[in-house]
Amino acid sequence: MKLNILQRIIYYMNPKRIDAKRFRLWIFWIVFQVILWMLPKSVVEGSVLIMLPLAGLFIYALVSKDVMESLVMGTLSMYIMWHKEGAFLGFLKDISLNLQDQETISMYMSFMLCGGMILALERSGTMKSFTETVTRKFGKNEKLILGTSAVYAGVMSIDDYVSALTSGAAFSGLIESMKRPRVALAFVVRTFSTCVSQILPFGAWGYFVIYQIAEAKNVKNVAEAADIFVQTIPYMFFAFIACIIAFLFAIGLFPKIGMMKKAYAMAQKGIQMGDATEGEEDEEEDWTEDPRRQNVSLLNLVLPMLSIAFFLVYFEYDAFLAFGAATFITGVLFVIQGIFTIGEYTKCVVDGCMDMVEMTIILIIGYAMQTVMYDMGMEVFVGQVCRAIPYVSLIPFIFFVFFSCTEYLYSLNYTLYQIAIPILMVVLPMIGANIPLTLGAVISASLFGANACVVSDAGVVSAKGARVKPYAQYITSQPYFVIAAVITAPLYLIAGFLFPA
């Protein structure tokens, strides 16, 4: 019997037919939205209430274990709190404005091209050849492979996304062949790609921070901003501690904790925790079994990677131009060797672009949330927090703790820098604070969020590279990032008194 629309709604929305946990989550969410709706805009603007929807998003993510769903619902709640009945229209307008930004579009397109290159390298047999060669030469040495992946990710981290995607693609097959969890690789790669990129003045994160410092009214030019940034590097405590922990883990000197331990046990049985490749193996195996793609030279992996690094520098970190040039060169290299026809290589690139659509949508939604947070007065809120601290020596410690909490709920990454750094560069000298130390604390908090937040774009990218689901990576790597943060916090407390200004 066919059911009309009303009958279907009555049937499928019956609480008896909804999973109990999901039903409770929906009840919570509906009540939560009503509360957000009732909050006056005048009360929300520039206040700590800006963070309230992020707390709801965090709870939703923990229960649903779905990054995309959590991000959509969290973003919707942010717009409901601010735009009220115009929430959906405001959301669409902000997405439209963000998609009109040239840099944003270039970033999305660079993800697509990167996905195309990764899939082409995999289908060409290059990754398979790399796995077989390294395994034959070095054996199945987990410590060597994970340690090398850390070094590789660090070297490639002039752009953190490039580093995470290519590192994961290059080493995931090796890790799996040894019956080790790919979430372990994702943890190591994520840590080094984000943290090293921030430490390097010419890394993507470092480059961005320099320009945010230069945006401050009291900074003369980019050269002065670069000098200030270099002074902050020794104070990026979290970056150094997180990398040390990840490297010790990679070489077997740091224990397997919590869900990571379970992931290793599962891998020994041939089960990958959070496997994101179900249904894909047979198709990719068909590509690599072709005689044209047997015994492929490892230069077919090395040359594309080197071309990416070269063009990133040549095009002044424009990832879209870099990947566009590298994609073309890789295609020519593969076609003239007979590895692919032009049509086959084109299909690889198109399929790879499609693989990156989900990640791109996550980033689009994330930028919309960042936009509405800025509209609600995040800039004013940051300034109020800074001025409310009674003792200047406590500022680095308090900032690290406070922004670590906000970034953990929802990692703003670059947006935190855009909002906070130009303000801090003006306010900190007025209250006699140590500028490099305080900036180092804010940067460390952002790095903690980029690594530990369940909906962080850095997490999505590194998970994609290692072919695992973002939530699986989140639950397995949590203890290591929390330990790094716990070690980092007292260092800022001590440094605040040792180096007050």
pLDDT in tens, 452-468: 987 777 888 888 888 89
3-state DSSP call for residue 499?
coil
Q: Which amino acid is it at 151?
A: V
pLDDT class for 285, splitting at 50, 70, 90? Answer: low
How many Å apart are CA 261 and CA 184, to the nearest integer?
A: 10
Q: Indicate whether 423 pLDDT > 60.
A: yes
How many Å apart are CA 65 and CA 249, to the nearest integer?
A: 26
Residues 168 and 185 sit within 8 Å (Cβ to Cβ)? yes
pLDDT at 408: 86
Cβ neighbours, 10 Å, residue 3:
11
pLDDT at 139: 65
Per DSSP, what are the bridge partners of residue 275?
A: 468
Give the range among 303-307, 356-360, 410-414 with minimum mean pLDDT: 410-414
Give the position of tokens 């590298």.
326
Sign of CA dihedral 172, 236, 214, 94: positive
pLDDT at 90: 94
Q: Which amino acid is it at 436?
A: P
Q: Which amino acid is it at 98?
A: N
Q: Indicate whether 82 pLDDT > 90.
A: yes
- Average the pLDDT over 90-103 and give the result: 87
3-state DSSP call for residue 468?
strand
pLDDT at 467: 86
pLDDT at 156: 74
Q: What is the share, in percent, of the chain residues with pLDDT greater than 70?
A: 93
- Average the pLDDT over 176-198 and give the result: 91
Q: Indicate whether 309 pLDDT > 90.
A: no
How many Å apart are CA 440 and CA 434, to the nearest integer?
A: 10
- Average the pLDDT over 419-447 and give the result: 88
pLDDT class for 187, splitting at 50, 70, 90? Answer: very high
Higher per-residue pLDDT: 32 or 140: 32
pLDDT at 1: 60
Backbone conformation region of residue 468, classed left if phi is above 0, alpha if psi is from -120 to 50, else beta? beta
- Read off the DSSP letter of residue 60: H
3-state DSSP call for residue 275?
strand
**Average pLDDT of the chain, as a whole number:** 85
Q: Indicate whether 250 pLDDT > 90.
A: yes
Q: What is the share, in percent, of the chain residues with pLDDT greater than 90?
A: 35
What's this model's pTM, rounded to 2 decimal places?
0.74
